[in-house]
Amino acid sequence: MNTKTLKRKLKNREIIFCVTGLGYVGLPLAEVLLKKGFKVLGFDISKQRVRMLNRGKSYVEDVPDEIIKNSLKKGIFRASYDEKIIKKADVIFICVPTPVDKNRVPDLKYVISAAKIIKKNIKKGHIIILKSTTFPETTEKVLLPVFEDKNFKEGKDFYLGFSPERVNPGDKIHTIKNTPAVVSGVSKKSLIFIKEIYSYITNQVVPVSSPKVAEMTKLLENIFRNVNIALVNELALLCERMGIDIWEVIFAAKTKLFGFMPFYPGPGVGGHCIPVDPYYLSYKAWEYDVELDFINLAARINESMPYHTVNRILQTLNHNNILPGKAKVLVFGVAFKKDVGDPRNSPALKVIEILMNKVKKLSYMDPYIPEIEVKGKKLRSLKMTSSNIKKFDISIILTNHSVFEPEFILKNSKLIFDARNLFKSIKSKKVYKLGSS
């Protein structure tokens, strides 16, 4: 295919997309393409997810059922766990998980298995775009060797590139459409093709010279957040000792009109990206004899926050003459951040894990997450009623969902520990705060 043909086929909606991995990244991407009128085939190894989608049911909050239902009806969308579906597409996105293992070592098994499945179904002219966050050189040194052989060459027989995902789940303002997309290609031709494709996905396309630049760009963005959160977490600990309220300090600092960007302390960092990505870069840096001291230190500070939060909760109980071993504790919010239903790597789960055996009873409320499992124990979310809150000795705010009304919680709680500054405009002797004495 040449650029002119690609342009024409895109314009006439003759290009068929395959999204491999229909999760928080893949499904919203499919939604954008469907809204543009393209035919999208979804490939996922999860039979449960495939079945839900084919019944018109979305499991990602930002993607409404309607778009799935309408697209199924129009015949422009279908999900499948049968890899042969890949053959029917022209452009394949890879949006599979890139976690770390229990020793914080990057685990590329999903990316590699997706690539091997694609290789089995690859055809001449396929354009493959990796979207999973990963360390620099993954596209060229891990993926390319899976696809390429002496008779099947990148830039001639198939096209490969990397475009990091910048979607921010739960964010209604910054969408895929209005967020610039960084794009790259292994060869010049791949970059041209991927730029064309992305001009249908987003308003602004930012081409860079190689996939490793694009991979590093994504890690810079996320590690930037990680180190800045670590900075305010460290200052929060100092503020607690000095009798200064960190929240008031940040509020004042952010009135500066240039050179400062607010980040907030909390019980730790969570989600698929921020706690994981420093380890991807750190792992890769060793290959070049570089130890990323600063980045590793930031990750360590953030990982110490759930432990610090638990210590502060226990101190708060003791200070109010409640023996921790006899305390009944109610956690508000287990999602890793405000207003989402995603508990992956949530610091709230870590706090619960550490706290669970130190107190008499622990329950939680999270309207977005009906059930959690911590250390093999299943817990179900309680309904947010005054009588439920009144049964506990302390309410602990670990995620500041908008539905948590501070006045209501204050009225019904005996004692509060707030790790998210939900009670920012309320002064009460009942409220103890992280980052404040």
Residues recognised as catalytic: 273
Interface with ligand NAD includes 49 (CB under 6 A)?
A: yes
- By CB atoms closer than 10 A (0-12, 13-18, 19+), residue 223 is buried
Interface with ligand NAD includes 43 (CB under 6 A)?
A: yes
> Which residues have CB under 8 Å from 47's CB, separation 6+?
81
CB of 217 to ligand NAD, least distance (A): 12
Task: Please list every residue from 328 through 367 that binds ligand NAD, using CB under 6 A.
Answer: none
Interface with ligand NAD includes 133 (CB under 6 A)?
A: yes
CB of 5 to ligand NAD, least distance (A): 28
Closer residue to ligand NAD (CB): 23 or 333: 23
124 vs 112: CA distance, rounded Å: 20
User: Of the candidates 24, 198, 332, 423, which one interacts with ligand NAD according to CB under 6 A?
Assistant: 24
User: Of the candidates 165, 215, 366, 393, which one interacts with ligand NAD according to CB under 6 A?
Assistant: 165
150 vs 66: CA distance, rounded Å: 46
42-49 long-range contacts, CB within 8 A, separation 24+? 42/18, 42/77, 42/78, 42/79, 42/80, 43/18, 43/19, 43/79, 43/80, 43/81, 43/83, 43/85, 43/86, 43/117, 44/20, 44/79, 44/81, 45/81, 46/22, 46/81, 47/81, 49/22, 49/23, 49/79
412 vs 404: CA distance, rounded Å: 12
Interface with ligand NAD includes 431 (CB under 6 A)?
A: no
Task: Please list every residue from 245 through 284 that binds ligand NAD, using CB under 6 A.
Answer: 272-273
CB of 91 to ligand NAD, least distance (A): 16
Closer residue to ligand NAD (CB): 42 or 324: 42
Per-residue DSSP letter, 181: E
CB of 229 to ligand NAD, least distance (A): 16
Interface with ligand NAD includes 79 (CB under 6 A)?
A: no
CB of 45 to ligand NAD, least distance (A): 4
Cα dist. 44→21, 47, 127, 134 in Å?
5, 7, 18, 20
CB of 337 to ligand NAD, least distance (A): 10
User: Of the candidates 98, 163, 210, 302, which one interacts with ligand NAD according to CB under 6 A?
Assistant: 98
User: Of the candidates 2, 3, 5, 113, which one interacts with ligand NAD according to CB under 6 A?
Assistant: 113
Q: Is 104 left (phi over 0), alpha (psi -120 to 50) or beta?
A: left
Interface with ligand NAD includes 21 (CB under 6 A)?
A: yes
Q: Which residues bind ligand NAD (CB under 6 A)?
A: 20-26, 43-46, 49, 95-98, 110, 113-114, 117, 131-133, 165, 167, 169, 272-273
